[in-house]
Amino acid sequence: MRTEPVVQVQALVKRYGDKTAVDGLDLVARAGVTAVLGPNGAGKTTTVETCEGYRKPDSGTVRVLGLDPVRQSGELRPRVGVMLQSGGVYSGARADEMLRHVAKLHAHPLDVDALIERLGLGSCGRTTYRRLSGGQQQRLALAMAVVGRPELVFLDEPTAGLDPQARRATWDLVRDLRADGVSVILTTHYMDEAEQLADDVAIIDAGRVIAQGSPEELCRGGAENTLRFTGRPGLDVGSLLKALPADCTAAELTPGSYRVVGKVDPQLLATVTSWCAQHGVMPDRISVERHTLEDVFLELTGKELRS
Amino acid sequence: MTTAGTYTPKPGAAPLPRMIAAQAALETKMLLRNGEQLLLTVVIPTLLLVLFSSVDIVDTGVGKAVDFLAPGVLALAVMSTAFTGQAIATGFERRYGVLKRLASSPLPRWALMTAKTASVLVTEVLQIALLTVIAFALGWSPHGNPLAVLLLLVLGTAAFSGLGLLMAGTLRAEATLAAANLVFLLLLVGGGVIVPLDKFPSGAQDVLALLPISALSDGLRDVLQHGAGVPWGDLGILAVWAVVGLTAAGRFFRWE
């Protein structure tokens, strides 16, 4: 897989009047699936729309596939697929008609009938866009983003408001795109979506990226994991601490109830259990508490993600 | 990647002529499918032509009524498509993000505008064919140089397109809908389409004669009814409107 960035945003600033939507944002996205995660109003859409060439940065630089999305738009547009948050289709057009039209604008489009089948758009029949359900409109927008066989796809809140079944269909398509070498940048305020799909997650709040990494890295990094076990009271915590890596802490919280905080991985778990074995301790109720992206977000910003 | 999957990237823009043809075909289809648009572009001009040619409501001067009315109704047909229809359709395309979505497709903006113009021209050809057949059935006997007629129609289309796109690209879609219909009605009455301009007070006449619809209907009438040569004055008025309208539209048009 290529390692050069597909998207490179440096010190991006974008204001609307006296409101600063994006405030010195840095983002590097590589091949694969990158989720831009944040609450409503964090600057996700503004960032993505700047990458799509819709908005001119007030300052900072944006490169997509190595190109300037505004100045080199003609070269970039055929290589990129765009799914807007809403709309984008003639209100009097049928789903298949619009999809076939977008296909005609590309040199080597996907098989439209297969794509219609895949996304369950066949049931739309002769219904015009304005009378399609919200889920059908979303899936049509998704189909329009991929039909031109782009290298990179931008999906702005692709599953917002979808029922669970349609949501899974969208996730499956994103996984297939990734497997076939299409890079995907998606914005979402669903933590599970980012965890399920993304190789890399950028958490945005108040117009800045406040953390970035794989879901695993973020869950370890932003907040350390916790390992708990119970044993007989008064164990030698100092000796346990010596056996653990340097950045771990260990404590007896209440008599017989122990907590280890640190980078909890299989090695650490083995270290704790073998220490217990050496000391003839049976660790009852041993548990590892993994932090979710939602916890990470809460800790970083003090805000709920789904605001 | 060893084997190519279904979605393996293979990007590329289609050849420009193919994109423009596809876009023009879709826009025309959308227009012909829209009932309100057909009312404006086909039903109203046809009714006006038939009604006022066969019933003596307005004094159209010497000669057959249809010889006065047919050029006016042709001018109205051009206005209904290039101005009113295009303004309303484009206003709602802007409102519903169609223009925004197309802006990120391989279709360049100028090619989109070319396709829109082609769609307007195709619609006008259909309108003119229909209205001409009806006018002949009503006993129309046109004169003059077809090239002068063509020149007037093309410049009229350019003038009305500029004004229509200016409106669609600057006002809200609902405001465009209301204003475009109101302007259509006002220009229908005050632009020499069915009511001769000399029925208005002389001060008003001078102002009304400068309207694009008056220039187009007057120019078409000079040629088709009176067999005049090239009506340079009317062409000049249309050219000024075209330059002003298209320049302003190019400058102030907002795509979202």
Q: Of A266-275, A284-293, B79-88, B199-208, which has the strongest mean pLDDT?
A: B79-88
At residue B237 the predicted structure's pLDDT band, cuts being 50, 70 and 90, is very high
CB pair distance less than 8 Å for B7 and A82: no
Mean residue pLDDT of chain B comes to 93
Burial (CB count within 10 angstroms: exposed 0-12, middle 13-18, buried 19+), residue A50: buried
pLDDT at A268: 87
Rg of chain B over all Cα atoms, to the nearest angstrom: 20
Quote the percentage of chain A above a pLDDT of 70. Answer: 95
pLDDT at A292: 74
DSSP category for residue B6: T
The token duo for B156 is 């009229």
At residue A220 the predicted structure's pLDDT band, cuts being 50, 70 and 90, is low
- Name the architecture of domain A7-220: 3-Layer(aba) Sandwich (3.40)
Which residue did the predictor score with more confidence, A161 or A197?
A: A197
Query: Is the CB of residue A182 less than 8 Å away from at least one CB of chain B?
Result: yes
CB pair distance less than 8 Å for A106 and B11: yes
Minimal Cβ distance to B13: which of A90, A106, A177: A106
CA closest to B26 among chain A residues = A101
Minimal Cβ distance to B96: which of A87, A114, A182: A87
CB pair distance less than 8 Å for A108 and B12: yes
pLDDT at A137: 94
DSSP category for residue B252: H
pLDDT at A224: 65
Query: Is the CB of residue B114 less than 8 Å away from at least one CB of chain A?
Result: no
Rounded-to-integer distance, Cα A260 and Cα B43, Å: 81
* Interface predicted TM-score of the whole assembly (ipTM), two decimals: 0.88
pLDDT above 80: residue A232 = yes
Q: B201: how many CB neighbours lie within 10 A of its CB?
A: 8
pLDDT at A1: 47
Query: Is the CB of residue B97 less than 8 Å away from at least one CB of chain A?
Result: yes
- Name the architecture of domain A224-290: 2-Layer Sandwich (3.30)
Point out which residues pair with A228 in neighbouring strands. Answer: A259, A287
Average pLDDT over residues B23-47: 94
Rounded-to-integer distance, Cα B256 and Cα B254, Å: 6
Within this chain, domains A7-220 and A224-290 share the same CATH topology: no
Could you write out the three-class secondary structure of chain A?
CCCCCCEEEEEEEEEECCEEEEEEEEEEECCCEEEEECCCCCCHHHHHHHHCCCCCCCEEEEEECCECCCCCHHHHHHHEEEECCCCCCCCCCEHHHHHHHHHHCECCCCCHHHHHHHCCCHHHCCCEHHHCCHHHHHHHHHHHHHCCCCCEEEEECCCCCCCHHHHHHHHHHHHHHHHCCCEEEEEECCHHHHHHHCCEEEEEECCEEEEEECHHHHHHHCCCEEEEEECCCCCCHHHHHHHCCCCCEEEEEECCEEEEEECCCHHHHHHHHHHHHHCCCCCEEEEEECCCHHHHHHHHHCCCCCC
With contacts defined as CB-CB under 8 Å, which chain A residues touch B108?
74
At residue A306 the predicted structure's pLDDT band, cuts being 50, 70 and 90, is low
Which residue did the predictor score with more confidence, A39 or B127?
A: B127
- Mutation pick from A6, A106, A154 vs chain B, by most beta carbons of B within 10 Å, is A106
Average pLDDT over residues A146-174: 94
Query: Is the CB of residue A104 less than 8 Å away from at least one CB of chain B?
Result: yes
Query: Is the CB of residue B101 less than 8 Å away from at least one CB of chain A?
Result: yes
B254 Cα to chain A: minimum distance (Å): 12
At residue A38 the predicted structure's pLDDT band, cuts being 50, 70 and 90, is confident
Query: Is the CB of residue A208 less than 8 Å away from at least one CB of chain B?
Result: no
At residue A222 the predicted structure's pLDDT band, cuts being 50, 70 and 90, is very low
Each residue of B58-103: pLDDT tens digit? 777 778 889 999 999 999 999 999 999 999 999 999 999 999 999 9
Average pLDDT over residues A203-211: 91
At residue B238 the predicted structure's pLDDT band, cuts being 50, 70 and 90, is very high
pLDDT above 70: residue B3 = no
pLDDT at A189: 86
Domains of chain A by residue range: 7-220, 224-290
pLDDT at A40: 84
Mean residue pLDDT of chain A comes to 90
| This model's pTM is above 0.80 | yes
Quote the percentage of chain B above a pLDDT of 90. Answer: 84
Instruction: Residue window 152-181, chain B: list those with CB within 8 Å of chain A.
Output: none
The token duo for A132 is 């399609």
CA closest to B108 among chain A residues = A74
Average pLDDT over residues A226-250: 88
pLDDT at A66: 95
pLDDT at A223: 47
CA closest to A130 among chain B residues = B96
Average pLDDT over residues A102-121: 95
Helix (H) or strand (E) holding B200: none
CA closest to A147 among chain B residues = B7
Q: A11: how many CB neighbours lie within 10 A of its CB?
A: 13
Average pLDDT over residues A84-92: 93
Query: Is the CB of residue B3 less than 8 Å away from at least one CB of chain A?
Result: no
With contacts defined as CB-CB under 8 Å, which chain B residues touch A108?
10-12
With contacts defined as CB-CB under 8 Å, which chain B residues touch A150?
9, 11
